[in-house]
Amino acid sequence: MQRYRRALANVFPNVAYVACIDLLPGCGQEVTAQFVGVKDVVSYCSAKSAGMGATKFSLHILNEVYHTQQLAFYGTDAELPDTQSVRGGEMSSCICAPLWRRNEISGFLHMHTLSGLGRPFARRDAQLFWLLANISSQYLNRAADAKQRSTMRAAAAAGLAVSGLAHDSQSILRTLGLNMEGVEKTNPEIMANACWKDVKEDLELLRFISRDAIERLETATGELVMRSVQLHPIVEEIIQRCSDYFLDHADRSRVRVVNACDKSHRAMVDPQGLKQVLMNCVKNSLLALKKSDNGHRDQSDYGEIKVFSCRDSEMPDDYCLVSVCDSAGGISEKVLQQLGEPFVTTEQTKRLGLGMYIAMEIVERMGGQIRIASSTKPAGQYPTGTVLSLCLPISSQAPKPVAIKKQRFVLVADYAAYRSHIEGLP
């Protein structure tokens, strides 16, 4: 890429700065500094001018390109927007173009001239720059397609392997369960044995895990059957299943999982698909809560997970939010930027890392989007934690907004404000 930027400088000898800017995953309605990654900025000013502290690019112009999805061209300083990032940089002209990867804006090419250092850009410069940006996007698409094909093949192979093992284990576990039932009939007193009870619980957990693996693959690859469902009973079922399988007796005295969904709220979804996604979200929060606890809390204390439903203020009335809120310490910035990629996991003992990848695939196929807000530091009245929201259509006629078409998931910057909205607090 360094070589490519230097080639641009040869084509446009009057350029002062060339910036290749990455748009990081999770950007929503506005491009902010949090979602901008500048790999390299090449300066072609003189050494004296380079020390002026000039701004290398303008967030205002990046946002214009992001929303219009077109090239932005300012041929004179009079045409440039009157913003601090432009005035501070002493730009005299600017050209900025989007870079595309898999039909989404993945970055920007941004270059500008400085006052008193070379002539401003002309219209023909903008036309040539647009052509070069399109060529760059084609190369990015080819690379992304090759990576996607490789990733999908690996994910499919892993999924089939897990499903095959699950199918094989189902018959073994079924036989083992029948044998244990036979033992109980001949020796009823064994049912009171604490070790026997633990073995039966572990066996039921293994059965659940194998069934869950089969259901995940079937839901991720099969046809979705969309219908209007009431959210509250589905959430209640998932909470009960997760509590039964992932909380032991000691955990249940300290961990509380609350269904705070409005009983009147409905969504147009595939019921099995929604259950799979919610199961993954609640399970992740439970395991994270147990991990963050580490036995250091007082036994009378407990962690809390709440599942809320509400209307989505950022979408039309045809969409609602189902949100899982926890106080499990939050997710690191590094992991947040990788969310949605297969084989990414925070668990050292779990190597597959397909849960969130499959969840995002299912939600996208149902016409929705996932939003995540997380903080590893206390924010206002809220402890460290994470809010994971499913933005779901309410009816089959719900239009798919541009915000959902752009990306499968969005990282919400203001954790405290978003959590207040979800929980309905002032």
Pairing relationship of beta strands 255-260 and 303-311 according to DSSP bridges: parallel
Pairing relationship of beta strands 104-114 and 369-375 according to DSSP bridges: unpaired
Under a CB-based contact definition with an 8 Å cutoff, are residues 174 and 204 in contact? no
238-266 residue pLDDT tens: 998 888 777 776 677 778 889 999 999 99
- State phi, psi for 106 to the nearest 5 degrees: -110, -5
Three-state DSSP state, 150? helix
Same-domain pairing of 267 and 406: yes
Could you tell me the residue range of the domain that residue 33 belongs to? 2-121
CATH of the domain at 68: 3.30.450.40
- Residue 314: predicted pLDDT: 72
Measured CA to CA, the distance from residue 355 to residue 159 in angstroms comes to 11
Same-domain pairing of 303 and 418: yes
Measured CA to CA, the distance from residue 110 to residue 96 in angstroms comes to 4
3-46 residue pLDDT tens: 556 666 667 878 888 877 888 776 767 787 777 776 555 555 43
Is 205 inside any structural domain?
A: no
Same-domain pairing of 98 and 231: no
Under a CB-based contact definition with an 8 Å cutoff, are residues 58 and 89 in contact? yes
Measured CA to CA, the distance from residue 39 to residue 26 in angstroms comes to 18
Is 141 inside any structural domain?
A: no
Does the pLDDT value for residue 165 go beyond 70?
Answer: no
The DSSP string of 326-357 is E-S----HHHHHHTTSTT--S-SS-----HHH
Same-domain pairing of 108 and 237: no
CA 282 to chain centre: 16
- Residue 390: in which H helix or E strand, if any? strand 385-393
- Residue 47: predicted pLDDT: 35
Domain final residue pick, 87, 121, 155: 121
Percent of the chain with pLDDT over 90: 10
Helix 194-221 and helix 355-365, axial crossing angle in degrees, nearest 10: 50
pTM, 2 dp = 0.58
Closest alpha carbon to 419 in 326, 331, 314: 326
Is 130 inside any structural domain?
A: no
Q: What is the mean pLDDT of residues 116-127?
A: 83
- Residue 114: predicted pLDDT: 82
Under a CB-based contact definition with an 8 Å cutoff, are residues 423 and 306 in contact? yes
Does the pLDDT value for residue 270 go beyond 70?
Answer: yes
Measured CA to CA, the distance from residue 43 to residue 334 in angstroms comes to 29
CATH of the domain at 264: 3.30.565.10
Is 35 inside any structural domain?
A: yes
Q: In sequence order, which ranges of 222-302 are alpha helices (DSSP H)?
A: 231-246, 249-252, 271-293
Same-domain pairing of 253 and 115: no
Is 102 inside any structural domain?
A: yes
Domain final residue pick, 121, 151, 168: 121
For the chain, the domain total comes to 2
- Residue 229: predicted pLDDT: 93
Tokens, residue 334:
């590094």
Same-domain pairing of 242 and 99: no
Same-domain pairing of 274 and 409: yes
Is 163 inside any structural domain?
A: no
Measured CA to CA, the distance from residue 184 to residue 36 in angstroms comes to 63
Residue ranges with strand state E in 89-226: 91-101, 104-114
219 exposed, middle or buried (CB, 10 Å; 0-12, 13-18, 19+)?
buried
Same-domain pairing of 232 and 117: no
- State phi, psi for 385 to the nearest 5 degrees: 170, -170
Same-domain pairing of 117 and 229: no
Three-state DSSP state, 311? strand
- Residue 266: predicted pLDDT: 92
Is 156 inside any structural domain?
A: no
Under a CB-based contact definition with an 8 Å cutoff, are residues 220 and 162 in contact? no
Q: Which residues contact 176 (CB under 8 A, 6 or more apart)?
A: 203
Domain final residue pick, 121, 141, 163: 121
Unique residue bearing structure tokens 């698409």: 141
Tokens, residue 11:
């084509």
Q: How confident is the model at residue 122 (pLDDT cuts 50, 70, 90)?
A: confident
